[in-house]
Amino acid sequence: MESLPIFMRIKGARCVVIGGGEVATRKVSMLLKAEAAVEVIAPELCDALNAQVLANEIQFRQALFEPTQLTGAVLVIAATDHEDVNTAVSNAAKAQNIPVNVVDSPALCTFTMPSIVDRSPVVIAISSNGAAPVLARLIRGKLETMIPASYGRLAYLSRDFRDAVKAKFADTQSRRIFWEKTFQGPIAELMFSGQERAANIALADAIKAEDSKAQHGEVYLVGGGPGDPDLLTFRALRLMQQCDVCVYDKLVSKEVMELVRRDAELINVGKARDQHTLPQEEINLLLVALAKEGKRVLRLKGGDPFIFGRGGEEIETLMENGVPFQVVPGITAANGVSSYAGIPLTHRDYAQSCVFTTGHLKSKDGQSHTVELDWPALARPNQTVVIYMGLIGLEQICIQLIKHGLDATTPAAIVQQGTTPKQKVVVGDLSDLAAKAALAELKPPCLIIVGHVVKLREKLAWFEPRLD
């Protein structure tokens, strides 16, 4: 994030606009919406601004720019056609520590003017930090169609009842849950349909009827996918935004974690290979304990919870303790990573079946390590084998597959951090893949794909990770 997004209260404050043309007119309009005291300084004005002067909506000083004109201003906008004047305005404002925006010159700005979705008192600002203002306006257009104008009235309704809700619910969590139910239920629908009086009555009744005692908690077992946040389901994102606490694994990408509600408590339980911050049994009990505190618990896992994610073990414990839960599938690494690597898992010319397996399982001492797999089954022809968590045992995996019948020249690939900007793909065959992976210094998480479908990557690879 290159800039800090803030909202600045400028009601009644002196804001100066240098320039009197059409661009200045647009900036003046924005400032007037925020009820600023606007002064325009320019040698002459366009018709629109002149009309606003005559209507006493803005002040006008007919003059060339001088730095002393900015004294006492809380905000300055330069909107002239002259680069030297705009630069002088920027320098003068910075010298006086006044926020300044220079139209179409991000390098001269200390703040940029965002595209606005106005549902006052709800205001949404979209900014590209000056890099792509047209894109910001396109995004605004999409949001305009998705957010009803009545959201503003809903916000005012909330304001009118805030004290009553605060008196009813002693803790922040209970108040948050109550308001979320209100904003997503029948009361909101009454506001959206224009029935404001009915909505007021319904909200007052809801406050009286609501049980202010301990709320019942719930666990959301959510698949976070292989790393790219665009691969999340709508349901996953919704639950990520309403949780009180997030219990997450190391395999969940940073980009996905950024979408969890900002003020949710975050608990990292690790779950990297042989580096568990908490043993699985303790994680199971932690979910129970948090839910019984009345919290909405997001159990966020990389990939899919039920594919090598131990989600089944967790919901067994939840069921035994009477804790309600939801399960939200995620795109498992096999699907997501293979797609981004340009390797189809099945193809009628190369593979008619696909097998998922793991490179390590649970041993008697509780540690995870490479174990004996069903090598004859994995070495069958005309299939694709996808191996999760097999980087450490890669050399032995290749040896065993050759030993049990696969040709040493069988194509194979290993993909590091698939679907993310740090994706790295190493392609070889069973005889040399381990050596190539070591040379590339790959690190977990990695996915191994074995089979003739790997040959298709050469012409099907489409994803180009960012090179930092």
Helix intervals (H) in 124-219: 133-146, 151-168, 172-183, 186-192, 196-209
Q: Is 314 annotated as a binding residue?
A: no
| The token pair that represents 257 in the structure block | 């974690």
From 271, 295, 301, 424, the catalytic residue: 271
Judge whether 265 is annotated as a binding position: no
418 is in an annotated binding site: yes
* 223 has binding-site annotation: no
SS3 of residue 327 by DSSP: strand
**Is the distance from CB of 297 to CB of 318 less than 8 angstroms?**
no
Residue pair 133/106 in contact by the 8 Å Cβ criterion: no
**Residue 226 known to bind ligand:** yes
Is 19 a known ligand-binding residue? no
| 308 residue type, one letter | F
Separation of alpha carbons 355 and 386, rounded Å: 6
Residue 302 is assigned to a ligand binding site: yes
Structure tokens at 249: 């694994």
| Three-class secondary structure assignment of 367-429 | CEECCCCCHHHHCCCCEEEEEECCCCCHHHHHHHHHHCCCCCCCEEEEEECCCCCCCEEEEEE
242 contact partners, CB below 8 Å, separation of at least 6: 180, 261, 296
Distance CA 69, CA 87 (A): 15
23 is in an annotated binding site: yes
Closest CA to 432 of 453, 402, 390: 402
Do the annotations mark residue 160 as ligand-binding? no
Pair 64, 82: CB distance under 8 Å: no
Annotation marks residue 271 as catalytic:
yes
Kindly name the residue from 27, 228, 244, 249 that is annotated as catalytic: 249
Asked if residue 332 belongs to a known ligand binding site, the reply is yes
225 is in an annotated binding site: no
- 240, 222 contact by CB (below 8 A): yes
By the 10 Å C-beta count (0-12 exposed, 13-18 middle, 19+ buried), 86 is classed as buried
Q: Report whether 217 belongs to an annotated binding site.
A: no
Q: Is there a binding annotation on residue 389?
A: yes
Query: What's the CA gap between 20 and 325, in Å, rounded?
Result: 61
Q: Is 166 a catalytic residue?
A: no
CA dist., res. 65 & res. 42, Å (int) = 7
Q: What number of other Cβ atoms are within 10 A of residue 415's Cβ?
A: 26
Numbered residues of the known binding site for S-adenosyl-L-methionine: 226, 302-304, 307, 332-333, 389, 418
**Residues recognised as catalytic:** 249, 271
Numbered residues of the known binding site for NAD(+): 22-23, 43-44
Numbered residues of the known binding site: 22-23, 43-44, 226, 302-304, 307, 332-333, 389, 418
